Amino acid sequence: MHDTLLQEFGGLAGGGPRGASYEGVDAAVQAVRNSYYETVEELAAAYAVYLIQGHVFLDGNKRAGAAAMLTFLEANGASVRIPPDELALTMIDLQRRSEAGEDALRLIANIASWLAERRTKQKGR
């Protein structure tokens, strides 16, 4: 997903501070897998938060976090309607708040609530 985003929008390839072999991605996935989040929005938000907060890529972390979040929602039967500019500003704000030291659980709760407000459909409904 990250490589596709780089091809489309540009940027530097490679892993972030945790290593060129993308160890940060594995850490982010494990953090979500080991979590106790209950809703699809919380899980999707966790992917965005852990990817962005962990700076798992050399470049494009906010794009990859947003893409992972939206892909997870779609794969789990949820759909959201978010204008691209709003999505970009939200990911920038997420990074800013993360760098300011805001707790991951609080960030996830905030993003999950924001996603829930933008839900458009759910399988089986």
Q: Where are the domains of the chain?
A: 2-8+40-122
| Per-residue b or e along 37-72, where b marks 16 or more CB atoms closer than 10 Å to that residue's CB | beebbbbbbbbbbbbbbbbbbbbbbbbbbbbbbbeb
Q: pLDDT per residue over 36-65, tens digit each?
A: 788 999 999 999 998 888 877 767 789 889
CATH fold of 2-8+40-122: Four Helix Bundle (Hemerythrin (Met), subunit A) (1.20.120)
% of the chain with per-residue pLDDT over 70: 68
Residue 21's pLDDT band, with cuts at 50, 70 and 90, is low
Global pTM?
Answer: 0.79
